[in-house]
Amino acid sequence: MSVAYSFNPAAEVAAEPSIEGIVNLVRADMDRVNALILSRTGSQVTMIPEVAQHLISSGGKRLRPMLTVATGTLAGYEGEGAVKLAASVEFMHTATLLHDDVVDDSEMRRGKLAARMLWGNEASVLVGDFLLGQAFRMMIEVGNMRALDILSNAAVVIAEGEVAQLAAAKNIATDEEAYLAVIRGKTAELFAAACEVGPVLAGRAPAEQAACRDYGMNLGIAFQLVDDVLDYGGSKAALGKNVGDDFREGKITLPIVLAVRSADEEERGFWRRCLEEGEIGEGDLERALALLTRHGALTETIERARAYGAAAKQALEVFPDSPAKAALIDVVDFCIARIR
């Protein structure tokens, strides 16, 4: 039985949010990024391009590499380095998805069977490693040591975030601070790095590099918080995976943290049984949604996402108005308004 959580994004922005601005802004460069992605997934080991292309060609928006190109444009960068770094960012993201699906035993990804369901866990992990290797080769080819430092550090932080999530999994005592630390690492860090390397390539002042990093970090946190809400009331099409997967996998997300904080002993027992002990029965997802709604946990998570979105927009105030700046602001509104 599916559940639904209704949210009207009109309260957030006056017009229908769209990423058409950034898509149009970066179209020519993204054509080169996509061609590079195709060429760098090639291998004489036929399983590698098969597994990689299964996920890469499955309809992802390429948001993170678009951010790399767009922040480079915002900073006045006109070279080819942004194309290779954007492709590197996409390979890093794809590798983490391949690895995550193995760790989480996920069956669906972007509306299709996860690669692990078709080729097995071993192939998914190893092809993810191949993509990481290709990402670092392209970073080296760009030859900007500061950009290499930012993206290689991001790879370390993402891995730390994934391990931290494992430590927090199935533990209803996880607090908000600990959860936010997890998503800063596993999700927001790549957004931040993707946005920071654009002005780095352009040689902009440290304050402007930091502003783009802050934009990406806050956008990434907002993006993840929206995903947290969608898991309890989105659509399979919007999520690209099954609704309720976080609940079934025992993931402690912000709505859970907030609901547990306000729960009575009986409700804590419910969360403990479902999330810590993994004993989930018929109707438990609906019961979880009812508790999240009763304690305002979904609404509060949305408000947190809005606040981080506002911080992302504020970070761009150091830049003058331009089509690139407007497009990046539109991305924030689009990410928040995925909740419908």
Give residue-wise pLDDT tens across range 88-100. 999 999 999 999 9
Q: What pLDDT, on the 0 to 100 scale, is given for residue 292?
A: 97
pLDDT at 227 exceeding the cut of 90? yes
φ, ψ of residue 109 in degrees (nearest 5): -150, 125
Cα 292 from chain centroid?
23
Pick from 11-20, 74-83, 216-225: least confident = 11-20
CA angle 186, 190, 191 (to 5 degrees): 115
Q: What pLDDT, on the 0 to 100 scale, is given for residue 2?
A: 35
Q: What pLDDT, on the 0 to 100 scale, is given for residue 234?
A: 62
143 CB burial (10 A radius; 0-12, 13-18, 19+): exposed
Percent of the chain with pLDDT over 90: 83
CA separation for the pair 271, 268 (Å, rounded) = 5
Task: Give 113's strand partners.
Answer: 108
CATH number of 11-336: 1.10.600.10
Q: What pLDDT, on the 0 to 100 scale, is given for residue 109?
A: 87
Whole-number Cα distances in Å, 198 to 83, 102, 214: 10, 32, 13
Contacts of 305 (CB under 8 A, 6+ apart): 221, 222, 225, 226, 229, 336
